[in-house]
Amino acid sequence: MTPPSPFYTRALLTLLLLGLVVFSFNPFLDRNDLLPLYDSKRLFVLFLLQITTLIVLFSTQQRQRIIDHWCSLTLLHRGLLSLFIASSLLATWLARYPLAAVLQWFYLAGLVLMLFVLRDVVKKQQARWFEYTLWLSAFLFLSIALAFWIRIVHQLNVNNFTLFGFANPRFLNQIHIWLIFPVVYLAAIAMKRGKRGVVPRAILAIDFAICFSTDARGPLVAILGGFTLLMLCARDLRSIWWKLLWQSAVVGALVKLALLSPLPSMIFGGPIEWLNIRTDSPGRLALWRHSWQIFTFTGLGGDAFVCEEVNHGRPHNSLLNVLVHWGVVSALCYLALIASLLHLTIRQRSLRTKLLGVSLLSGIAYSLVSGVLDSPLSQLMAVVACALFWSRCSLASASLPLPANKPRRWWAHGVILIIAIGCSVSVGYRALERLDNYPVYRSEVIIKTQFWLGYNCLAKSWQP
């Protein structure tokens, strides 16, 4: 029997989950206060990272667990991750904007530390996470529905930007994508056992309604890809996957039409908006071409894109993001790790593990057309999703367990301490720098989204 998780890791997970709930339904911040709407979420992530670094700094046991988890990886995964880390460090060393590059590297390293810290506790509290996915989906729907209903009652027009708690519907979609397949798992298990699974199937329909109401093409494609993968690698439940897909899509469309738009507008006599799914690509291809044109073999380092691109703060493609900032080697390692994740997902026998892998893959798929892995709350969701899959997936380098009384690797402890201290200083600096010089939002100025909403380039602080 495994010992219980330390109270501080349970507290970290609890704070993370409660924060996700609060930010998923937050009608209290003014919808027009765009900067606080986005920045408050980033500050919450920085707060959790500070707690993570304190855990790592003061708990020798936790540092040893991180070392054990690293050593338990296969030689292939350790090699790919080591090469990725080395190439990212080289890009940071040669960066055009050294201070920003170092701060960004330690921030992302802190998220990796959080992944290691949460790995054990999420394994023991999986049921809690699945329960939270239901609540989070419901709260995200309420963030949209309440905003719709208030405007419709006052006979005002509605569109995909009609929502509470988010400066942009894409920020909501970037959280929402991580919730879909945990809900699919709950519905599939109920149906497999001969039950109706009313609650998870209703929530899944609501999830589709969210996609339709926010004009979310990217998530819909990622969801369709996830279901296709399930039909290929879990063929014994193919009829269930197909039934969940088409029924949820149809009911979700009806929910959107009946509860959001246009039926409520018809009833109250307001402007009618059908919220059709767009078929164009507003600037994405040009943005990706620009990213392809400016990358170098070793990478430009952190903040290079936001400081040098006129209209955008990020490439809206996680692969190009890695390529531009950390170079070709890091991008190839990133692709290899995604391919390994796909292979591991396909060969899993456990349905729950397979669904967690599909959830992780769907999030990564959406990141290829959006800033999923850059946005604050979405990064937390990615950490939890990765920790859940890793905790259930066999990545051990050997079938034999590690020796119980192995010698402590003090050099490894030293590396972890340096990363933790660097992360703590980095997130503290970014928070203080932002709060001490907080910008004033002006609607006539086009601001770029990256670490913050606008004014991200430390070397060019005047640049929105």
Is 449 strand, coil or helix?
strand
If we measure between CA atoms, which residue out of 388, 301, 322, 410 comes closest to residue 80? 322
Tokens 């979420």 -> residue? 41
Kindly indicate the confidence band of residue 269, based on its pLDDT and cuts at 50, 70 and 90. Answer: confident
Q: What is the pLDDT of residue 309?
A: 74
Predicted confidence at residue 276, as pLDDT, reads: 59
Q: How far is CA 13 from its chain centroid?
A: 16
Q: Which amino acid is at 331?
A: A
Phi, psi torsion values for 453, nearest 5 degrees = -95, 95
3-state secondary structure of 453: strand
Q: Note whether 221 and 281 are within 8 A (CB).
A: no
Cα separation, 220 vs 176, in Å, equals 11
pLDDT of residue 394: 62
Asked, for residue 131, whether it belongs to a domain, the answer is: yes
In sign, the C-alpha dihedral spanning 5, 81, 106, 372 is: negative
| pLDDT: which is higher, 408 or 461 | 461
Residue of 47 and 403 predicted with greater confidence: 47
According to DSSP, residue 215 is labeled T
Report if residue 20 sits inside a domain. Answer: no
Q: Which two tokens stand for residue 377?
A: 């709350």
pLDDT band at 49 (very low <50, low <70, confident <90, very high): very high
Domain-located, residue 130: yes
Q: Is residue 79 part of a domain?
A: no
Range 215-238 average pLDDT: 96
As given in the structure block, the two tokens for residue 22 are 């609060």
Q: Is the pLDDT of residue 425 over 60?
A: yes
Specify the pLDDT at position 268: 83
The pLDDT assigned to 279 comes to: 60
Residue partners of 375: CB distance under 8 A and separation at least 6: 41, 171, 174, 175
Residue 42 lies in a domain: no
Give Cβ neighbours of residue 286 (< 8 Å, ≥ 6 apart).
Answer: none
Structure token pair of residue 276: 């059709």
- Contact present, 204 and 245 (Cβ < 8 Å): no
Structure tokens at 54: 């304190």
Q: Is the pLDDT of residue 130 over 90?
A: yes
Domain contains 262: yes
Query: Positive or negative CA dihedral for 135, 137, 143, 148?
Result: negative
What separation in angstroms does the CA of 432 have from each of 106, 175, 260, 303, 313?
Answer: 16, 26, 40, 18, 21
Q: How far is CA 416 from CA 52, 100, 118, 413, in A?
A: 12, 21, 16, 5
Q: What is the pLDDT of residue 397?
A: 44
DSSP single-letter state for residue 356:
H
Over residues 128-132, the mean pLDDT reads 96
pTM of this prediction? 0.94
Say what the pLDDT of residue 395 is: 54
Q: Which residue has the tokens 């990796």?
A: 112
DSSP 437: T
pLDDT (0 to 100) of residue 404: 44
pLDDT above 90 as % of the chain: 78
Q: 307 pLDDT exceeds 80? A: yes
Can you name the residues that pair with 453 across neighbouring β-strands? Answer: 449
Residue 39 corresponds to which tokens in the numbers above?
């920045």
Three-state secondary structure call for residue 370: coil
Amino acid, res. 463: Q
- Whether omega for the bond prior to residue 282 falls within 30 degrees of 0, making it cis, is no
4 versus 433: the higher-pLDDT residue is 433
Quote the pLDDT of residue 461: 82
**What are the phi and psi torsion angles at 121 (to 5°)?**
-75, -35
Taking the C-alpha atoms of residue 314 and residue 291, their distance in angstroms, rounded to an integer, is 9
Rg (CA), the chain: 22
Q: For residue 402, name the pLDDT band (cuts at 50, 70, 90).
A: very low
Q: Which residues contact 391 (CB under 8 A, 6 or more apart)?
A: 119, 120, 122, 123
pLDDT above 90 for 199: yes
* Residue 276 vs residue 400, higher pLDDT: 276
Domain count, the chain: 1
pLDDT per residue as tens digits for the range 56-77: 999 999 999 999 999 999 999 9
- Maximal C-alpha separation, the chain: 74
Q: Let me know if residue 292 belongs to a domain.
A: no
Tell me, yes or no, whether 420 lies in a domain.
no
pLDDT of 444 strictly over 80:
no
Domain coverage including residue 180:
125-272
